[in-house]
C-alpha cells in the first residue's frame, strides 16, 4: 500500500491526503475545479495552516491505476461520473455521509465514516479542522479486508488522523445518517450554523423530534447502529424522550458546534445537494417498513425546492419546515 489517489480536494479529502502524505506515502489529489487545481499547484494542500507539496490532477485526465487505492471524498451526487471510470478491479474506499445504493452494491475494499468536521475554503485547497472527532474505518461486510484496513488505519494515525478500526461500517454510517439527516436540512434551510439547533426554542424542539424520527425509522427497518460520540443512538433517543434531560444536556454540546456548518449549507446555492442520499434514503426506508416519515418528507421537498432556485437559506425556508411541524 504505497500509493493513494484521493478523489475530491474538499475538507475531508485534504485532511486524508495530507495525513497519508505525512505518513510517507505517495498521494495524488484528484479535483475537477480548475481554481482549486491552480491554488494547489501554487500553494500546496493546506490543512490548519500547514502546507504540503501534494500533486494534483484534473478529474478529466484521471484514470484509476492497478494496485492504487482510490479514496472517494466527494459528495454522493458526483459518484456516477467517477464510477464511469472504474471497473471491478478498482480499489475503491469511500468516505461519505450519504447512502448511494449503487456505490454500496460494489465490492468496496472498505468505508470510512468521519465524525470530525473539516471545512474547506471555496476554490482553494485550504481546510481547517473545525471540530475534532474520529474516522471510523471498516469493511462493508463484517470482518472483510481487515488486514488492509488495519494498515490504512495505522497510516492515518501516523499522519495525525484519529482513526478507529471497526468490524463493520454500516452501524456507524447509520448513526451518522441519523444526525446528518436532522442537522443538514434544518441548518441549510435556515442559513444557520450548527449550534443554532441547540439554542432553546421551537427549532431545538423540532431538531429533537427530527432525531427521534430518524432513529425510529432506522429501528423499524432493523438497521444496526453504532456509537459515535458519548452515547449510543438508543440512549440518545431515550434522553430525548425524557424532554427535561435532553434540554438540560443541550447547553453542554452546543459549544462544540459553534462556527461549524454542514456542507449542504453551501450546496443548495449550487443547485445540487445530498438530500436524496440523506432524507430521501430515510424516506425510502420508511416506506418499505410502512413507517411514517413526515419530517424527512417535508425536508426533502423544501431542500429540493431551494436547490432548484439556487437559494440561500433564510427564515422563509425554515418557516416552511417549522410550520409543517
CA distances from residue 121 to 41, 79, 125, 172, 175 in whole angstroms, order as listed: 16, 22, 7, 28, 27
pLDDT at residue 258 is higher than 90: no
pLDDT at 110: 97
Whether the CB-CB separation of 80 and 104 falls below 8 Å is answered with no
pLDDT at residue 324 is higher than 90: no
Q: What is the C-alpha to C-alpha distance for residues 249 and 245, in angstroms, rounded to an integer?
A: 6
Q: What is the C-alpha to C-alpha distance for residues 161 and 6, in angstroms, rounded to an integer?
A: 15
Average pLDDT over residues 191-216: 96
Average pLDDT over residues 210-239: 97
Q: Assess whether 162 and 176 both reside in one domain.
A: no
Q: Assess whether 260 and 191 both reside in one domain.
A: yes
Q: What is the C-alpha to C-alpha distance for residues 282 and 129, in angstroms, rounded to an integer?
A: 28
Q: What is the C-alpha to C-alpha distance for residues 127 and 109, in angstroms, rounded to an integer?
A: 27
DSSP 61: G
Contacts 24+ apart (CB under 8 A), 229-237: 229/115, 229/133, 233/175, 233/178, 236/211, 237/211, 237/212
The pTM is what? Answer: 0.94
pLDDT at residue 97 is higher than 90: no
257 pLDDT tier (thresholds 50, 70, 90): confident
297 pLDDT tier (thresholds 50, 70, 90): very high
The sheet with strand 55-58 has its strands ordered as 55-58, 26-31, 3-7, 69-72, 91-94
User: How many structural domains comprise the chain?
Assistant: 2
Q: Assess whether 155 and 297 both reside in one domain.
A: no
Q: Assess whether 132 and 258 both reside in one domain.
A: no
CATH code where residue 196 lies: 1.10.1040.10
Q: Assess whether 72 and 199 both reside in one domain.
A: no
Whether the CB-CB separation of 117 and 131 falls below 8 Å is answered with yes
pLDDT at 151: 97
Q: Assess whether 175 and 311 both reside in one domain.
A: yes
Q: Assess whether 281 and 226 both reside in one domain.
A: yes
pLDDT at 136: 97
pLDDT at 231: 95
The residue segments making up the domain with residue 57 are 3-168
Q: Is 131 helix (H, G, I), strand (E, B) or coil?
A: strand
Q: Assess whether 277 and 299 both reside in one domain.
A: yes
Q: What is the C-alpha to C-alpha distance for residues 182 and 111, in angstroms, rounded to an integer?
A: 22
Q: Assess whether 295 and 189 both reside in one domain.
A: yes
pLDDT at residue 278 is higher than 90: yes
Q: What is the C-alpha to C-alpha distance for residues 43 and 52, in angstroms, rounded to an integer?
A: 8
Q: Assess whether 320 and 225 both reside in one domain.
A: yes
Q: Where are the alpha helices (DSSP H) in 23-143?
A: 34-43, 79-83, 101-104
pLDDT at 31: 98
CATH code where residue 91 lies: 3.40.50.720
Domain boundary among 134, 168, 202: 168
Domain boundary among 119, 152, 168: 168
Averaged pLDDT score across all residues of the chain: 95
pLDDT in tens, 105-150: 899 999 999 999 999 999 999 999 998 999 999 999 999 999 999 9
Q: Assess whether 153 and 251 both reside in one domain.
A: no
Residues pairing with 117 in the sheet:
131
% of the chain exceeding 70 in pLDDT: 100
Q: Assess whether 19 and 153 both reside in one domain.
A: yes
% of the chain exceeding 90 in pLDDT: 89
44 pLDDT tier (thresholds 50, 70, 90): very high
Domain boundary among 168, 199, 221: 168
pLDDT at 193: 93
Residues pairing with 31 in the sheet:
58
Q: Is 247 helix (H, G, I), strand (E, B) or coil?
A: helix
Please say whether the dihedral angle defined by the alpha carbons of residues 181, 173, 118 and 74, taken in this order, is positive or negative: negative
Residue with cell 461520473: 81
pLDDT at residue 86 is higher than 80: yes
Amino acid at each position: 500500500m504505497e500509493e493513494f489517489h484521493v478523489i475530491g480536494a474538499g475538507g475531508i479529502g485534504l485532511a486524508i491526503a495530507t495525513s497519508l502524505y505525512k505518513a510517507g506515502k505517495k498521494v495524488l489529489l484528484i479535483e475537477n475545479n480548475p481554481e482549486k487545481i491552480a491554488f494547489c499547484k501554487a500553494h500546496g494542500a493546506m490543512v490548519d495552516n500547514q502546507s504540503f507539496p501534494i500533486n494534483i490532477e484534473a478529474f478529466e485526465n484521471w484514470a484509476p491505476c492497478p494496485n492504487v487505492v482510490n479514496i472517494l471524498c466527494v459528495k454522493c451526487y458526483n459518484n456516477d461520473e467517477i464510477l464511469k471510470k472504474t471497473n471491478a478491479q478498482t480499489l475503491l474506499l469511500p468516505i461519505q455521509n450519504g447512502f448511494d445504493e449503487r456505490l454500496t452494491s460494489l465490492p468496496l475494499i472498505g468505508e470510512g465514516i468521519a465524525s470530525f468536521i473539516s471545512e474547506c475554503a471555496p476554490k482553494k485547497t485550504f481546510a481547517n479542522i473545525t471540530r475534532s472527532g474520529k474516522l471510523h474505518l471498516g469493511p462493508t461486510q463484517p470482518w472483510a479486508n481487515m488486514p488492509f484496513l488495519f494498515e490504512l488505519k495505522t497510516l492515518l494515525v501516523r499522519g495525525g488522523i484519529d482513526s478507529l478500526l471497526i468490524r463493520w461500517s454500516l452501524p456507524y454510517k447509520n448513526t451518522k445518517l441519523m444526525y446528518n439527516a436532522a442537522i443538514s436540512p434544518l441548518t441549510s434551510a435556515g442559513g444557520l450554523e450548527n449550534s443554532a439547533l441547540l439554542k432553546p426554542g421551537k427549532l431545538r424542539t423540532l431538531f429533537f423530534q427530527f432525531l427521534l424520527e430518524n432513529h425510529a425509522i432506522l429501528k423499524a427497518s432493523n438497521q444496526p447502529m453504532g456509537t459515535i460520540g458519548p452515547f449510543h443512538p438508543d440512549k440518545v433517543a431515550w434522553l430525548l424522550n425524557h424532554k427535561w434531560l435532553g434540554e438540560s444536556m443541550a447547553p453542554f454540546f452546543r459549544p462544540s458546534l459553534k462556527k461549524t456548518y454542514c456542507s449542504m449549507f453551501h450546496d443548495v446555492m449550487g443547485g445540487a445537494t445530498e438530500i436524496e442520499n440523506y432524507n430521501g434514503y430515510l424516506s425510502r426506508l420508511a416506506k418499505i417498513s410502512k413507517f411514517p416519515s413526515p419530517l424527512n418528507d417535508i425536508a426533502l421537498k423544501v431542500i429540493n425546492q431551494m436547490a432548484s432556485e439556487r437559494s440561500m437559506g433564510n427564515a422563509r425556508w425554515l418557516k416552511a419546515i417549522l410550520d409543517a411541524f
